Amino acid sequence: MERTKTSLTTDVILTATSRYYQVPIRDVISKTRHRRVMTPRQMVHFLSYRYKVDSLENIATATGLKAHATVLHSFRTVKLEAELYKHKLAEVHAITANLKDLGYNTAIPKKRRRSIYAGKYKTFS
């Protein structure tokens, strides 16, 4: 019997990422800027933004930050590192696979734009 797919939340991604990196959640959401804490925090930002879990402000608040710009910076940093370094790409795939094994929907949502003609949302690739 196949599990039903549940939508992701920032808390679920935070839990999966902290387990993968073996860092307590309280450390990930703290204000410290040590490398062992920043890497999981940036991964939470990357995955939350990639899967459109919530708004940038809410993602930042869930991880103990004040500004949404930090989430954008984290997304760009992890994306660049994943393109340059195989181990970072492997980390992204491993955490995504863990989320998928837990039964969460890890499909990347398509972009939705408001059509100026119909007044309804249309999906673009």
CATH architecture of 10-124: Orthogonal Bundle (1.10)
Which amino acid is present at 6?
Answer: T
Q: Give the rounded distance of the alpha carbon of 111 from its chain centre.
A: 16
d(CA 43, CA 91): 9
Catalogue the E-assigned strands of the chain: 111-114, 121-124
**What are the sequence ranges of the domains in the chain?**
10-124
pLDDT tens readout for residues 60-116: 998 888 888 999 999 999 999 999 999 999 999 999 999 999 888 888 777 655 545
Residue 122: pLDDT over 60: no
SS (HEC) of 85-120: CHHHHHHHHHHHHHHHHCCECCCCCCEEEECCCCCC
pLDDT tens readout for residues 18-68: 999 999 999 999 888 898 999 999 999 999 999 888 889 999 998 888 888
Q: Per the confidence metrics, is the pTM higher than 0.85?
A: no
Confidence (pLDDT) at 37: 92
